[in-house]
Structure 1
C-alpha cells in the first residue's frame, strides 16, 4: 500500500516547533499572583520572626506556625475547588504537565527539609537549605517560560543562601547558633524571598495586565 503522507521538510519542522513553543508560552502566561502570595507570606514570616526575636513577644516560631496553618487552609481550598466544585479544567499541555510534575517534586523536597528541621537539623542550617530549593524551582520556572526576572532572582536567592550559611557566624564571632545568628538567617531569608519571589511576581503581574489590556483592545477593535 502506497504511503500518501509526504515527509516534512526541515523548514516545515522548524515552523511546527516554533508554533508549539509560541502556543505553550501563550497558554502558560502567569499573572504572578501565586508568587506574590507565596512570597509575601514567606517575607512576613521572616521579618516577623526577626522582630519577635528582638522583643520576645511570642514563641520563637509563632510566625512560621501561622504560615504553616495558612498553607494548610490554602491547600484545603484548592482541593475543594478542584475536586468538589469540579471547576472546568483547561486543555492539558506539555508545559502544564511539566509544571505539575515539578510542583510535586518541589513540595516533596520542601517537606523533606522541614521534617529534617524538626528532627535534627537546626533552623539556622535548614533555612539556607530551603533557600537553595527555592532557587532551583525559580530557575526552572524562569527557564521554561523564558522569564528573565525569575532567572536573575534564582541566582540572587542562591547567593543569599550561601551568605546565610557563613556570614551570621562571622558577624556573631561564635559557632553557637543563638538568637543573633538566627536573626541574620531570617533577614537573609527575607531578602532572598524579596528578590526571588516578590519582585519577579509583581513584574509578571504587570506584564500579564499589559498583555490582557492589549488583547482586550484588539478584540474590541477587531484588529
Structure 2
C-alpha cells in the first residue's frame, strides 16, 4: 500500500493519531517507573540494613531479585509495543538512551571492579548516581516532562552530596532518595495524568 491508496479521511486519521501520540507523550501509565522505583528503593533499604545492622558479607545478594523483574519488563514491553498503534521517533530515542545507560553502567562496573582491586564500593554510589541522572534527565528533556528533568538533576545533586558522606553505609542511602525523586514521584505523576485522559 502506498500513499496514493489512502483516502483523505484515512490520511487525516493517521495524522490525527500521530499528533495525539506526540501530544500524549504518554500513553504511559507510569507502571514501569513505579515498579522499578519501588523495587530499587526497597532493595537498597534492605541492603543498607544487611550491611549496617547485621554486617552481612553478602548484602549485595538482594539485587538478584532484579533479574526476574528485568525479564518481566522485556515481555511487558514487547506486549505493550504490539498494542501500541503509533511508534514515534521519540519512543525509539528514549529506548536508545536507556540502552546506552545500561551499557555504560555495565562497562563502568566491570572496569571499576578490575581497577580498584575489589574496593569498588568506595566509588560505585557516586558513579551510579552521576550516570543514572543522565537517562532520567534526557528522557525528561525529550518528552518535555519536568518531574523527570528535576529527577535527573536531583541524582546529580545527590552524587555531589554523597562525596561528603564518609561512611559508605550511609552513602548508600542516597540510592533510595534518588529513587523517590527520579522514579517514584514521576511515576505517580504519570499515573495521575494517564487516568485523567
Query: Structure 2 CA distance, aligned partners of 1:155 and 1:137?
Result: 11
Q: Aligned to 2:62, which of 52, 63, 66?
A: 66
- Max Rg structure: 1
Query: Structure 1 CA distance, aligned partners of 2:34 and 2:77?
Result: 21
Query: Structure 2 CA distance, aligned partners of 1:80 and 1:40?
Result: 20
Q: Which runs of 5+ in 2 are unaligned?
A: 1-16
The match for 1:192 is 178
- Counterpart mapping for 1:1-223 below 5 A: 23-26=21-24, 28-56=26-54, 58-62=56-60, 65-67=61-63, 69-79=64-74, 88=82, 90=84, 91-121=86-116, 122-165=120-163, 167-169=164-166, 181-211=167-197
TM-score by length of 2: 0.77
Please provide the CA RMSD for this pair: 2.9
Contact 1:113/1:130 (<8 A) preserved: no
- Deviations for 1:132-175, whole angstroms, at most 9, x for unmatched residues? 1121111111111111111111111110111112x113xxxxxx
Q: Which runs of 5+ in 1 are unaligned?
A: 1-18, 170-180, 212-223
Please state how far the C-alpha of 1:103 moved relative to its aligned partner.
Answer: 2.0
Query: Structure 2 CA distance, aligned partners of 1:168 and 1:87?
Result: 42
In structure 2, relative to structure 1, the CA distance for the partners of 1:89 and 1:110 (3 Å cut) is farther
TM-score by length of 1: 0.69
In structure 2, relative to structure 1, the CA distance for the partners of 1:111 and 1:21 (3 Å cut) is farther
In structure 2, relative to structure 1, the CA distance for the partners of 1:86 and 1:208 (3 Å cut) is closer
The match for 1:176 is none
3-state DSSP class of the match of 1:88? Answer: helix
In structure 2, relative to structure 1, the CA distance for the partners of 1:71 and 1:148 (3 Å cut) is same
